[in-house]
Structure 1
């Protein structure tokens, strides 16, 4: 088997562009902003009335298993995972549960539920908090619910590492396959829109429209995808993370790109397009490739951004090979390289 025969066999996404690949592809091609005054999320005082909300959907139409309560991040991740599994023809799954992994990224995790729980704590005291909320308030609640929903017992990697989180999840999925620790990894990210998250962004001086969404990609070896009658969508060739002082983000972004391209075995001139979050795009300066940022379309999806950018790159396969690039205010930058399928 070729060393680079690790592929993306299927994917799906939910974002302000729409629910699923078809709606998203049409909106992506159109290119207009999907940020509008919010209709579901509560907006903090002083915020600009723009956000990238996922359109309304009914989870039971996507995931028939009833749920008593879900944090917004969990709802989005479960929906994206169910859609991706359907696209990848793994319901039921041909992979043993112990050989199936999860790698998911988020900057904020279940902040919506954490806010609800502690609001009760502050206003009513510890005896009157809602017990059902507590297990849903952890940063790993969403990935744990996905693992239980589909009996996934292999490597279980949850990244809560700012804007680079889901890019790092994709790198982890690649490493897991390379190391032979799993035969399939469901990798991606999810970020929900909530009042505590929006308030925190505003307090940090970030007045760009926030966005929400989730994307899940099926990462496996090409031979297992082809055995199910699936033509691989792209090769996941390589990736890398670099870190440094926040004021040195340009140099850190450059190091992450160089390391990712070396890992992928590609020269810079092989890249046709770079998809980047706003901070990474600004750090690139005069890039060698066309750069497209999702922040203007979807709002800032933070930890889910890398996975959503990878999904959007797959909506336009003629623009591969592509570089997916995320940078965070903490000085971290992560990059992955996708190449068109053979």
Structure 2
């Protein structure tokens, strides 16, 4: 089967800004923050220096039936919620695509660590009989992808890329490859993460990568601002339905945008720090444009990974200038969402898709004074209306993973 254009027909999300895509998008445009003070007892018990996080606006237990929720890790819960939204948004009912032509690629950075910790506590305190027989299916990193595959009877392959904070974007990239190769007609793709827990908070705090602006939670995540002091941990899921264009057109599907090209590289530089030259981040963007036949001059917008760390934020802008030039307009969703780790690249791809679809770029919050090392146009304060032909979403992860996704107008 010959290569095909890949189109986006369905969107689903549950995030710190809302329980769905529309609420999340509206929250961005309104400049709301999803970051708040943590009230869990372990914050004080362990005297954590970081006492804030970007928690879900709508708890999964408010959406899922009680029995179903109890059988799923929180990362699996959010993945299913977002997948069901995306499938419905794409206009599929109980049928519409043969199972052997439907695939799933949903990544996660950490997976079911909270299940692992909880079940280990039960084992230590109460013995073997209290450990759930569902422990392994709940803790395995492929759990979110597997449950979505079961839900929709996907038999063209169910995959779970694990590449830290680039996992969700890799989900879309590998889905694009499945569709381009003709191995599937439809792929449910994205990422999920829900691991706001004592051990993750403590680990990130010890590495001094998280903001300690505890007295101003909503102002803590501040990409590119001179006073940024680290990221804010978040949770959520983003799922998109991708289709071969001819398949989508044949069934009369609404198309949000095209996933025109993808690029994936690795820094091979350091386990957590990016290559300060931004060379391989730039090459990922170049690969995305090359695979989509895109002229860099056509790229009007970059939805940046920008986590609010001192080194990473500026390095990315260096990479953008290398790969594309000085003309793209930038925004950073983590200023409102926090950092959703394995879900970040998927949720931020949805924001990129909607920016193209609606012709408006959401603002970056909390930029009081732009870092002088950032010599690019950053949208702040108010949304900016802009007709976009092409926009790129960047996602990078510990381990040196770089993923760039190039979206174009429908």
Give the structure-1-normalised TM-score: 0.91
Aligned to 1:146: 148
Higher mean alpha-carbon deviation, 95-104 vs 320-329, is at 320-329
Change (3 A) 1:176 1:102: same
Higher mean alpha-carbon deviation, 320-329 vs 100-109, is at 320-329
Q: Secondary structure at the match of 2:331?
A: strand
Higher mean alpha-carbon deviation, 309-318 vs 103-112, is at 309-318
CA distance in 2, matches of 1:162, 1:109: 10
CA distance in 2, matches of 1:153, 1:310: 25
Aligned to 1:205: 208
Name which of 267, 271, 282 aligns with 2:314. Answer: 282
CA distance in 1, matches of 2:189, 2:195: 21
Aligned to 1:323: 392
Deviation track 1:3-39 (CA, whole Å, cap 9, x = no partner) reads 5521011111111121112211211212332211135
Aligned to 1:120: 122
Q: Secondary structure at the match of 2:97?
A: coil
Aligned to 2:293: 265
User: Residue 222 of structure 1: CA displacement?
Assistant: 1.9
Name which of 314, 325, 332 aligns with 1:293. Answer: 332
Matched, 1:248 2:275: yes
Q: Secondary structure at the match of 1:269?
A: helix
User: Residue 109 of structure 1: CA displacement?
Assistant: 0.8
Q: Which runs of 5+ in 2 are unaligned?
A: 211-230, 360-387
CA distance in 2, matches of 1:146, 1:60: 19
User: Residue 129 of structure 1: CA displacement?
Assistant: 2.9
CA distance in 2, matches of 1:100, 1:131: 29
Higher mean alpha-carbon deviation, 31-40 vs 77-86, is at 31-40
Change (3 A) 1:34 1:86: same
User: Residue 83 of structure 1: CA displacement?
Assistant: 0.5
Q: Secondary structure at the match of 2:37?
A: coil
User: Residue 41 of structure 1: CA displacement?
Assistant: 9.2
Deviation track 1:174-220 (CA, whole Å, cap 9, x = no partner) reads 10001111110000001113313323322333212101111111110
Deviation track 1:231-267 (CA, whole Å, cap 9, x = no partner) reads 2111111111111213525111111111111111112
Does the Cα contact within 8 Å between 1:273 and 1:320 map onto a contact in 2?
A: no
Give the structure-2-normalised TM-score: 0.77
C-alpha root-mean-square deviation of aligned residues, in Å? 2.4
Aligned to 2:259: 236
Aligned to 1:23: 23
User: Residue 310 of structure 1: CA displacement?
Assistant: 0.8
Q: Secondary structure at the match of 1:76?
A: helix
Aligned to 2:362: none
Total equivalences in the alignment: 341
Aligned to 2:222: none
